């Protein structure tokens, strides 16, 4: 396996963890929100993250690597923090949307870091996939932010 493939696999495995974090985070949001439209939105975003993770895993296998299959420790800790925090503050839709946006901020940073590494190491074989997924993460972030602002204006 070439050094470029090893670097590409490392970048992709980091993004798999990020996608798995999003999948679990959005799933938790869907379970916790009261508004049915938000439940549907979060469930769809969770499914989208699962699809993204599967695409990344397939690419890792194609490059000859072993794909990551789990969430990150940081993502697990964030979800536990949200669970503890909600005991004291309640699980209102606005608070859930705030935490979802925070998670998407993290995902954006992870994809931006991956794109930097891709450019730094000239990993052309994964650039299109990662950039396409980055645009999906940006869309998720913007949608969550818009929904959060909408809920804020109603309260």
- CB 12 within 8 Å of CB 56: yes
Confidence at residue 3, expressed as pLDDT on a 0 to 100 scale: 85
Give the integer Cα–Cα distance in Å for 58 and 137: 19
Confidence at residue 20, expressed as pLDDT on a 0 to 100 scale: 93
Whether the CA torsion 25, 31, 35, 41 is positive or negative: it is positive
Phi, psi (5° rounding) for residue 131? Answer: -65, -40
Confidence at residue 112, expressed as pLDDT on a 0 to 100 scale: 97
Confidence at residue 12, expressed as pLDDT on a 0 to 100 scale: 97
Counting every residue written for the chain, the total comes to: 155
The CATH code that applies to domain 3-154 is 1.20.1260.10
Instruction: Encode the chain (155 residues) as per-residue pLDDT tens digits.
Output: 778 889 999 999 999 999 999 999 899 899 888 899 999 999 999 999 999 999 999 999 999 999 998 776 666 655 566 655 555 556 788 888 988 898 899 999 999 999 999 999 999 999 999 999 999 999 999 999 999 999 889 87
Give the integer Cα–Cα distance in Å for 102 and 90: 18
Domain segments of the chain as ranges: 3-154
């Amino acid at each position: 396996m070439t050094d470029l493939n090893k670097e590409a696999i490392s970048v992709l495995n980091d993004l798999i963890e990020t996608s798995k974090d999003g999948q679990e985070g959005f799933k938790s949001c869907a379970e916790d929100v009261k508004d049915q439209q938000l439940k549907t939105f979060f469930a769809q975003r969770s499914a989208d993250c699962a699809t993204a993770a599967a695409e990344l895993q397939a690419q890792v296998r194609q490059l000859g690597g072993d794909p990551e299959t789990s969430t990150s420790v940081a993502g697990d800790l964030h979800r536990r923090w949200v669970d503890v925090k909600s005991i004291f503050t309640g699980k209102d839709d606005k608070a859930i949307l705030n935490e979802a946006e925070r998670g998407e901020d993290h995902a954006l940073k992870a994809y931006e870091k991956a794109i930097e590494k891709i450019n730094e190491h000239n990993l052309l074989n994964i650039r299109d996939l990662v950039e396409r997924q980055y645009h999906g993460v940006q869309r998720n972030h913007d949608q969550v932010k818009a929904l959060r602002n909408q809920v804020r204006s109603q309260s």
